[in-house]
Amino acid sequence: MKFIGIVGTNAKKSYNRQLLTFMQQHFAAKAEIEILELANVPMFDESDDQSESPVIQEFVQKIDAADGVIIATPEHNHSIPSALKSIIEWLSFKLHPLDGKPVMIVGASYSVQGSSRAQLHLRQVLDAPGVNASVMPGSEFLLGRAQTAFDAQGQLKSAGTIDFLDSCFAKFMKFTNLVTALAAPTAVKYQPGTYDVTATGHNGALPMSVTLSDDRIESIKIDTSSETKGIADVAFKRIPQEIIDGQTLAVDAISGASVTSNGVINGVAQAVKQAGANPDELKKRRQTVTAPQASVTDITTDVVVVGAGGAGLTAAAKVLQAGRNVLVLEKFPAVGGNTVRAGGPMNAADPDWQHQFDAIPGEKHTLKEITEIDEATIDQDYLPDFRALKGQIQAYLTENEDQRGYLFDSILLHRIQTYLGGKRTDLNGNKIYGQYDLVKVLTDHALESVKWLEKIGVDFDKSQVTMPVGAIWRRGHKPMGDLGFAYIQALQPFVTKHGGRLMTETTVKELTTTDGKVDGLIAEGPKHEKVVVHAKAVILASGGFAANTKMLQKYNTYWTSIDDDIQTTNSPAMTGDGIRLGTSVGADLVGMGFSQMMPVSDPDTGELFSGLQVPPQNYVMVNQAGKRFVNEYGSRDELTQAAIDNGSLFYLIADDAIKATAYNTSQAKIDQQVAAGTLFRADTLTDLAQQLNMDPAVLTKTVNDYNSYVDAGEDPEFHKNAFDLKVAVAPFYATPRKPATHHTMGGLKIDTGAHVLNTDGAAIDGLYAAGEVAGGIHAGNRLGGNSLADIFTFGRIAAGSALQDELTVTEF
Amino acid sequence: MKLVGIVGTNATRSTNRQLLQYMQQHFAKQATIEIAEISGLPAFDEPEDRTAPAAVQALSDQIAAADGVIFATPEYDHSIPAVLKSAIEWLSYTTRPLISKPVMIVGASNGSLGTSRAQAHLRQILEAPELKALVMPNVEYLLGHSLQAFDAAGNLKDATKAAELADDFTAFMAFVDLTAKITSANKFVEKNQQFSWSQVADGRDL
């Protein structure tokens, strides 16, 4: 029989350690006891999951392999030590190795109590549902006055004490056999048939149809029409597959799609129950804890790409087009990264195409304003282009002086707008603007990227030219179909069809180098197996770090503060992995202090489309005191900083008439959000103010002032650009908003060939980067629609450079 | 009245923190509640020199300067979180600021039981002779289903639970006043400012 003994303290000197060591020797003939120490166990923190760290994994694997566990606990403050509590919390959080495991409690203390109170607490703790250990009842072994209990050889002095320990341990060995027998699986019988059930998915109801035979779950069919394409697809494939393969409901939810995963599991549980069986029996059929597999997967390829979003898949497709091998590694179960969350249109100046569309009011004015910019404010490297653009604009304005005219655009306008849009100064007075050569490459080759995507299989809607949110100009090429997913829907099949290898749930741990050249990497696969990749080039396309708040806070030099609980509009995968990998081999970083926020996001989820989203002329923004604090027409940066200065949380005030202009919601959704406390509604402003903990007099004055500005057509306080409706008709609404992280501007320093540069400005042999992982292009602020232009352009360039440098392919 | 509210977790999102923030705002007229975080404290490891690290000393000073302490505890595995236990161990092992300090316990959890077991443990822990806190009897504020308990402005949605908390807080203020009278009249003064579990061997069985 094999047991694990846990020393319940991290103290250097411990009589409990001595007690376990004594038991180890004394019972050596009956059982093997391996002693585990707590000294290296980190303090449990649910916000910083370390279940996969080597120290926690050692506990998990060893406990899993053992027949039982013996815990020796001291008593601190009438309870168990925090160090022991901490490991139990880790072992009841994501992983549950103690579930059903026989446990014996012993304890030693200085006082006569011998840890009596701590042992009672420990029993209750081990009984908690997340732990669910099988603790042996009775046989309480309390060693009081431990400092006098052992002799110099570490033997217990008292024969009576040893006799009692012998009897406790003999009972524990019997108990272990008993519990093991108890844990043997029970047969499950179903009333055969097909059961229709409705589970809850991310976007609401998820109708499912589950077919059961006498003793098996045969099939699971799900109507997925209500779920967002691309994000949860993998949950609909994999969860049913795992349930059927294992005939179990103990399957793990999929990262990034946990609501949907649990929805599917609960749906099957409902069907099982309707068929007269107990779903808990199926939940007990635990999959064995995934131990790292000894086997190492060793792969040799031409190019390995880290990250399967738009940039990574583009690079992979390009390598395949040149007839070379490629491997794409993605840490999440689903491909698509942030690209599937993108709004859809990508920027590329295509004057011939844009010429067919009429200009709209205001556009000429915008162009004229550009020609009036003082040249002294334009940085030297952009000056020749700026002057050339002025010439183009003047010619256009002269040509169309007496007519409405067509939609003007040029590569130079795209370039100068990207430059002007990205110009920022941080809190330390550091100025930043897009690096000229990179912006030139982006704007010169964006249209080529559109044409390339068309060849891959992306259909663009040529009948309209759109302006993505925050883009400044109408040059958006909008794909047909489902927004950002449309790109992935074309790229992924292209890669797999042309022999590209795609491994999901495979996290890159480190890059490998030989004599300074990056020649592969080491990753960890879904079953914790080691994956070693040898390649001639590594392309990092792993995205930014908007989902890594600690990293944002560490580098931030632009915002006066970033809240600990800030949300993000990004995929949770965006944690800066590629930046860490790049710097580990000496890469330089650029612009890391700058990030882009989405000011009007849901405070709890980061989503944009909750509450009442109305046109900006109907926005009335008030802070937590009930006062307006900003021109509602301000840029994203202005709104965000104003929100931060006012405590981040603010409200959009609306009345019943303004509500009618909301483009994102329905009455049912509004009622549901009011009930859930995520949207506020009241029949009077006084009541609304009370719900929001505001002084009613302040909010009422704010609204009255605002209404008078609407009447006067002028806002003397914040100079709001345009007005529409007053706030007058009950009921009144308040939608809570907070800035959320949207795009991280900084990243690895690259050159125009997407080579990653080291701190001396030299290219790191074998390493390339594309997309949000790289910095320098968008500088302090990215125009809407430019990130898609970036990933498809630099994704192609990174692959092209890798082919040329490392694989001597010159034509592609 | 000046109180310290200790957030009993290191989680970045915590309804116990929200509960203390709610109390801070709603009882602002009756008392000043400073909210103290424990996430920055090192893990307790029974160091031989028995000196409080700077972060522990700062928390201890904050407690010493306050008239009373409110603990808001989550429940992890039927007990208090390890990180809260660690903070208490530091205080009991080094500076002992909780001796005779009035304490109110509140707790929020997403389950329906609202930390009932954790609160019972915390009571026993704070009454250990190493700590000697004066935990207010009779009152047990349990906030279940806490993820749904607050609206976006941080208010308790359920008026009954809000009223219950207001009553409990009034009782606690009376308890603080009462204990101030008793402790000043109490001739016993705890001399031992540095406790160690090994010292029970020196003759006193705590």
To the query of whether residue A636 is one of the catalytic residues in this protein, the response is yes
Token pair of B70 as six digits: 């409110």
The residue assigned the tokens 């929001």 is A692
Best mutation target, A14, A38, A46, A150, to test chain B (most B CBs within 10 A)? A46
What mean pLDDT comes out for the span B73-80?
96
Best mutation target, B98, B197, B204, to test chain A (most A CBs within 10 A)? B197
Give SS3 for A442.
Answer: helix
pLDDT at A289 over 60: no
pLDDT at A341 over 90: no
Q: What is the DSSP letter of A658?
A: H
DSSP per position, A746-761: -EE-B-TT-EEEBTTS
What residues 283-322 of chain A have any CB closer than 8 A to a CB of chain B? Answer: none
Confidence of residue A181 (pLDDT cuts 50, 70, 90): confident
Summarised one tens digit per residue, pLDDT across range A609-635 is 788 888 778 889 999 999 999 988 888
User: Using CA atoms, how far apart are residues A69 and A135, in angstroms rounded to an integer?
Assistant: 9
Burial of B129 per CB tally in 10 Å (0-12, 13-18, 19+): middle
Distance, first Cα to last Cα, chain A: 64
Spatial contact of A798 and A768, defined as CB atoms under 8 Å apart: yes
Summarised one tens digit per residue, pLDDT across range A182-210 is 777 677 889 999 999 988 776 667 889 99
Residue A83 CB contacts under 8 Å (≥ 6 apart), including other chains:
A8, A9, A10, A38, A41, B43, B44, B45, B82, B86
Q: At A21, which helix (H) or strand (E)?
A: helix A15-26
pLDDT at A136 over 60: yes
Q: Would the CB atoms of B45 and A39 count as touching at under 8 Å?
A: yes
Summarised one tens digit per residue, pLDDT across range A24-62 is 999 999 999 999 999 999 999 998 899 989 999 999 999
Give SS3 for A404.
Answer: coil
pLDDT at B123 over 50: yes
Residue A550: closest C-alpha in chain B: B12
- A571-605 burial by CB neighbour count: b if 16+ within 10 A, else e? bebbbbbbbbbbbebbbbbbbbbbbbbbbbbbbbe
Overall residue count recorded for chain A in this entry: 812
Spatial contact of A282 and A250, defined as CB atoms under 8 Å apart: yes
CB contacts, 8 Å: B197 with chain A: 74-76, 109-111
How far apart, in Å, are the Cα atoms of A303 and each of A118, A504, A514, A521, A805?
Answer: 57, 17, 16, 11, 12
Q: Give me the pLDDT at residue B203, please.
A: 39
What mean pLDDT comes out for the span B152-178?
94
Spatial contact of A484 and A341, defined as CB atoms under 8 Å apart: yes
Residue B151: closest C-alpha in chain A: A677
User: Using CA atoms, how far apart are residues A330 and A308, in angstroms rounded to an integer?
Assistant: 5
Spatial contact of B69 and B102, defined as CB atoms under 8 Å apart: yes
Q: Give me the pLDDT at residue B75, please.
A: 95
CB contacts, 8 Å: A12 with chain B: 46, 48
DSSP bridge pairs for A432: A424
What residues 155-214 of chain A have any CB closer than 8 A to a CB of chain B? Answer: none
DSSP per position, B165-196: HHHHHHHHHHHHHHHHHHHHH--------S--
User: Using CA atoms, how far apart are residues A177 and A68, in angstroms rounded to an integer?
Assistant: 10
Summarised one tens digit per residue, pLDDT across range A81-126 is 999 999 999 999 989 999 989 999 999 998 888 899 999 999 999 9
What residues 47-76 of chain A have any CB closer than 8 A to a CB of chain B? Answer: 47, 74-76
User: Using CA atoms, how far apart are residues A60 and A678, in angstroms rounded to an integer?
Assistant: 40
pLDDT at A308 over 80: yes
Q: Would the CB atoms of B76 and A89 count as touching at under 8 Å?
A: yes
Catalytic residue among A415, A474, A636, A737: A636
CB contacts, 8 Å: A74 with chain B: 197
Spatial contact of A556 and A741, defined as CB atoms under 8 Å apart: no
- Choose the closest CB to A79 out of B77, B121, B154: B121
Query: Å from B26 to nearest chain A CA?
Result: 9
Give SS3 for A398.
Answer: helix
Q: Would the CB atoms of A45 and B83 count as touching at under 8 Å?
A: yes
Least Cα distance to A317 among A308, A459, A582, A342 occurs for A308
Q: Would the CB atoms of B81 and A89 count as touching at under 8 Å?
A: yes
Spatial contact of B20 and B5, defined as CB atoms under 8 Å apart: yes
pLDDT at B205 over 80: no
Q: Would the CB atoms of A88 and B125 count as touching at under 8 Å?
A: no
| Parallel/antiparallel/unpaired status of strands A346-347 and A595-601 | unpaired
DSSP per position, A139-208: --EEE-SGGGTB-TTS-B--HHHHHHHHHHHHHHHHHHHHHHHHTSPPP-----EEEEEEEEETTEEEEE
Beta strands in A54-166 (DSSP E): 68-73, 102-108, 134-135, 141-143
Query: Å from B168 to nearest chain A CA?
Result: 21
Distance, first Cα to last Cα, chain B: 33
User: Using CA atoms, how far apart are residues A230 and A226, in angstroms rounded to an integer?
Assistant: 12
Summarised one tens digit per residue, pLDDT across range A721-776 is 778 899 999 999 999 999 999 999 999 999 999 999 999 999 999 999 999 999 99
Q: Give me the pLDDT at residue A681, please.
A: 95
Q: Give me the pLDDT at residue A736, please.
A: 95
Best mutation target, A45, A77, A99, A143, to test chain B (most B CBs within 10 A)? A77
The mean predicted confidence, pLDDT, of chain A is 91
Summarised one tens digit per residue, pLDDT across range A356-402 is 999 987 889 889 999 999 999 999 999 999 999 999 999 999 999 88
Summarised one tens digit per residue, pLDDT across range A649-691 is 999 999 999 998 887 778 888 888 898 888 999 999 999 999 9
User: Using CA atoms, how far apart are residues A700 and A756, in angstroms rounded to an integer?
Assistant: 56
What mean pLDDT comes out for the span A477-498?
91
User: Using CA atoms, how far apart are residues A575 and A568, in angstroms rounded to an integer?
Assistant: 11
Beta strands in A337-407 (DSSP E): 346-347
Query: Å from A42 to nearest chain B CA?
Result: 8
Instruction: Assign 3-class secondary structure to A531-584.
Output: EEEECCEEEECCCCCCCCHHHHHHHCCCCCCCCCCCCECCCCCCCCHHHHHHHH
Residue A543 Rama label (left phi>0; alpha psi -120 to 50; beta): left
Is residue A810 within 8 angstroms of chain B, CB to CB?
Answer: no
Please name the amino acid found at residue A647: G
Helices (H), B48-115: 54-64, 82-93
Least Cα distance to A796 among A757, A749, A752, A764 occurs for A752
Least Cα distance to A778 among A789, A767, A763 occurs for A789
pLDDT at A484 over 60: yes
Least Cα distance to A345 among A543, A483, A442 occurs for A483
Query: Å from B162 to nearest chain A CA?
Result: 13
Please name the amino acid found at residue A46: E
Q: What is the ipTM of this complex?
A: 0.88
Q: Give me the pLDDT at residue A619, please.
A: 85
What residues 87-116 of chain A have any CB closer than 8 A to a CB of chain B? Answer: 88-89, 92, 109-112
Give SS3 for A5.
Answer: strand
User: Using CA atoms, how far apart are residues A746 and A327, in angstroms rounded to an integer?
Assistant: 26
Please name the amino acid found at residue A224: T
User: Using CA atoms, how far apart are residues B183 and B196, in angstroms rounded to an integer?
Assistant: 24
Best mutation target, A10, A13, A18, A43, to test chain B (most B CBs within 10 A)? A43
Please name the amino acid found at residue A352: D
